[in-house]
Amino acid sequence: MVALGLTLIYGVLNQINFAHADFVTVGAFTAFFTATRFATKVLGLPDTGAYLLSMFAALGAGALLGLAVNAAVFAPLRDRGDELRPLIATIGVSVLLENAQLALFGPIPYQFDSPFARETLRIGRIFFSAQSVLVVAVSAAAIAALYGFMRFTFLGKALRAVAQDRETAGLMGINPNLLIALTIVIASALAGMAGALLGPVLVLSPFAGASVIVKAFAIVIIGGFGNMQGTILAGILVGVIEAFTVQYLGSGLIDLVVFAMLLLMLVLRPTGLIAERKEENV
């Protein structure tokens, strides 16, 4: 989900959002405080209902943050003819968000205890937590919904037209600025919900998203920068490889194996699993 957000923004804007990691962290903290403070103590919801509500809160927080960043960074710099300025600006946004969260929440990690993480499921000799099932189910549903939106709705087709040729799309009556804003909002909402799903798995701190975004960049590059189908395939491939790495080599070698795969892909097929074609980026 995080890698798809990066792919969407690059596919439409040809720009990289280095603050995307912090959108994940904002989503995780939003989910944490919604579940532990608001939903349980104010609304009186049980733990399961509180956590499910927190996921939607994180989705909304990510969308609002994306809307704000688009208005403050991407929109003013979009027509300057310099791709470096928005890139540097997103680095500034990342530093701002990290330090703001550090000032608000402090450096001590939080423990986000999801009710699903406490439940263990068993199929034969295989054990896994209900949180893992929830992550897979929600991610699959979000990816399927996004794919269906991009392929079969009018707004999705208009967005692909903007990605292919922004000026021509504008001449055909499409509002490119509105579609670009929608793209950033969708990408940021995906990152926010991903933070809610990963919060109980990661050590929740103001820098928690950094560990996720590095792997997300690897997935985007392996799949083919800007290509949504390639990103989905690369995400599944990296997940399977990580699972076998943990089983046979140990968890300490996960990052080594993933980035060795990334280097191998850059040497043998630098275009990624699916070569970039502008008309099919998103």
The whole-number pLDDT of residue 276 equals 60
Q: Looking at the predicted structure, is the pLDDT value of residue 27 above 70?
A: yes
What mean pLDDT do residues 267-274 have? Answer: 82
Kindly state the percentage of the chain with pLDDT values over 70.
96
**DSSP single-letter state for residue 129:** E
Domain boundaries, the chain: 2-206
Query: Looking at the predicted structure, is the pLDDT value of residue 80 above 80?
Result: no
Residue 136 amino acid letter: V
- Average pLDDT over the chain, rounded to an integer: 86
**pLDDT tens by residue, 123-134:** 877 788 888 889
* Of 3-7, 102-106, 276-280, minimum mean pLDDT range: 276-280
Q: Are 143 and 4 in contact (CB under 8 A)?
A: yes
* pLDDT digit string, tens, across residues 130-158: 888 898 899 899 889 988 998 889 988 89
Whole-prediction pTM? 0.88
Both tokens of 222, joined, read 């392996």
**Selection from 8, 5, 7 nearest residue 179 by Cα:** 8
Q: What is the CA radius of gyration of the chain?
A: 19
Mean predicted confidence (pLDDT) in 77-85: 74
